[in-house]
C-alpha cells in the first residue's frame, strides 16, 4: 500500500483542482489560495506546463502540499514524483496505474465511481479514494450509502462541487476532504484577480463544519 494522505492534511480540507498554463501564474494562484487558507493543491496533468507548474509551487511555496492529478497513464507517475509532487490523484484506476502508484510510494487517491471500483481499489491496498465525478454519481447520498459497506474506506469527492457542497460533504464520517475547480475560475486566473481567488478560498474555509 501507500502512505495515507489524511495525516498530512491541514485544517483546510478543501483541495483546489488546478488547470495551469505557466509556472509564474501557477505560483500566484497558489499564493492566493494559501493566503485564503487552502494549502493542499492538486495540479492537474491537463496542460503541457502542468509538471513545471507543480515543480514551481513545490519549490517556492513550502507551506503548500502540492499534488499532481489527472494521472491516467502509468508512465506519468515517475514524472509526477520527479516534479516534486507530494501526493498523486487519478480520475480512475487500472491494474497498470495501480502498479505505478504503488511503485512511487507517495500518498495516492485513485478515482472510483461505484462500489465495485472501490472494492477493486481496496484490493490494491488503497483505502483513500477520490469519488468522481461525485455529483453525477449521487453526491453525499451515495457516500452515505457506501459507508456501511466499505467501513475502512474514506473518500475525497470531486466533480461538480461548489462551496455549497462543503458543509454537507465534510460532515460525512467517510469523507476526509473534497476538491473542485470552482476556487479558480478561468476568468479570474486569466485576469490575474488574485484577491478574488483568495476570497473564494476563504469562503470555502468558512463553510467547513467546526
Specify whether 144 is catalytic.
no
Which one-letter DSSP state was computed for residue 175? B
Give yes or no for residue 160 binding ligand 3PG (CB under 6 A).
Answer: yes
Annotated catalytic residue, options 42, 55, 128, 198: 42
Give yes or no for residue 137 binding ligand 3PG (CB under 6 A).
Answer: no
From residue 79 to residue 118, what is the string marking binding to ligand 3PG with x (rule CB under 6 A)? ------------x---------------------------
Specify whether 42 is catalytic.
yes
Least distance (Å) between residue 158 CB and ligand 3PG: 3
Give yes or no for residue 158 binding ligand 3PG (CB under 6 A).
Answer: yes
Tell me the window of 29-37, 48-56, 159-167, 201-209 that interacts with ligand 3PG (CB under 6 A): 159-167
Question: What sign results for the dihedral spanned by CA atoms 123, 126, 130, 134?
Answer: positive
Task: DSSP for 4-72, please give it.
Answer: -SGGG--S--EEEEE--S-HHHHHHHHHHHHHTT--EEEEES-STTHHHHHHHHHHH-TTSEEEEE---
Report H helices in 107-178. Answer: 115-123, 139-146, 165-170
Q: Cell digits for 96?
A: 497498470
Applying CB under 6 A, the residues found at the interface with ligand 3PG are 17, 69-70, 91, 132, 158-161, 179-182
Amino acid at each position: 500500500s501507500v502512505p495515507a494522505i489524511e495525516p498530512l492534511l491541514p485544517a483546510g480540507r478543501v483541495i483546489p483542482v488546478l488547470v495551469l498554463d505557466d509556472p509564474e501564474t501557477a505560483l500566484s494562484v497558489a499564493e492566493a489560495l494559501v493566503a485564503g487558507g487552502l494549502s493542499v493543491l492538486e495540479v492537474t496533468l491537463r496542460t503541457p506546463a502542468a509538471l513545471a507548474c507543480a515543480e514551481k509551487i513545490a519549490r517556492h511555496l513550502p507551506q503548500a502540499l502540492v499534488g499532481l492529478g489527472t494521472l491516467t497513464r502509468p508512465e506519468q507517475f515517475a514524472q509526477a514524483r520527479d516534479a516534486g509532487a507530494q501526493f498523486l490523484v487519478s480520475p480512475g484506476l487500472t491494474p497498470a496505474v495501480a502498479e505505478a502508484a504503488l511503485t512511487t510510494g507517495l500518498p495516492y487517491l485513485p478515482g472510483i465511481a461505484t462500489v465495485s471500483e472501490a472494492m477493486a481499489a481496496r484490493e490494491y491496498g488503497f483505502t483513500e479514494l477520490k469519488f468522481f465525478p461525485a455529483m453525477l454519481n449521487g453526491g453525499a447520498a451515495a457516500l452515505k450509502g457506501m459507508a456501511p459497506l466499505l467501513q475502512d474506506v474514506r473518500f475525497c469527492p470531486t466533480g461538480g462541487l461548489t462551496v455549497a457542497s462543503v458543509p454537507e460533504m465534510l460532515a460525512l464520517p467517510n469523507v476526509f476532504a473534497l476538491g473542485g475547480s470552482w476556487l479558480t475560475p478561468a476568468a479570474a486566473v486569466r485576469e490575474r484577480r488574485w484577491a478574488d481567488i483568495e476570497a473564494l478560498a476563504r469562503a470555502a474555509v468558512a463553510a467547513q463544519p467546526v
